[in-house]
Amino acid sequence: AQSVTQLDSQVPVFEEAPVELRCNYSSSVSVYLFWYVQYPNQGLQLLLKYLSGSTLVKGINGFEAEFNKSQTSFHLRKPSVHISDTAEYFCAVSETGGGNKLTFGTGTQLKVEL
């Protein structure tokens, strides 16, 4: 079984500042890693995913994440945030050989302030 930990429930940041949202996972097998964004009362939108290969993954809206196998982490970063980035961010993991079932972290509320 796998699990995902998002240590920060809320992250306030000023506009144009950099941000990092932390994600750690636990699994006994190889995994795929994902970051999703959820705006209020909406479904989830995929930001980026790590499947294999380069550990630095670039996604939409200027976000990127780095897979660190030794630290079992997949932190999400953006060098300069915008007000429109205010949303809930979920890290998720699925086993590479499994039925594509996703296990989600508890989410991080990113609040961008002027």
Partner 1 sequence: GAVVSQHPSRVICKSGTSVKIECRSLDFQATTMFWYRQFPKQSLMLMATSNEGSKATYEQGVEKDKFLINHASLTLSTLTVTSAHPEDSSFYICSARDSAQARYEQYFGPGTRLTVT
Q: By CB under 8 A, name the binding residues for partner 1.
A: 32, 36, 41-45, 49, 51, 90, 94, 96, 99-107, 109
Minimum distance from CB of 43 to partner 1 (Å)?
4
Residues 6+ apart with CB under 8 A from 46: 34, 35, 36, 59, 60
Task: DSSP letter for 80, please.
Answer: S
Cβ closest to partner 1, residue 65 vs residue 94: 94
Minimum distance from CB of 80 to partner 1 (Å)?
27
Residues 6+ apart with CB under 8 A from 24: 4, 5, 7, 71, 72, 73, 74
Cβ closest to partner 1, residue 36 vs residue 63: 36
CA distance 15 to 6: 22
72 CB burial (10 A radius; 0-12, 13-18, 19+) = middle
Minimum distance from CB of 100 to partner 1 (Å)?
5
Cβ closest to partner 1, residue 5 vs residue 15: 5
Minimum distance from CB of 29 to partner 1 (Å)?
14
Cβ closest to partner 1, residue 53 vs residue 114: 53
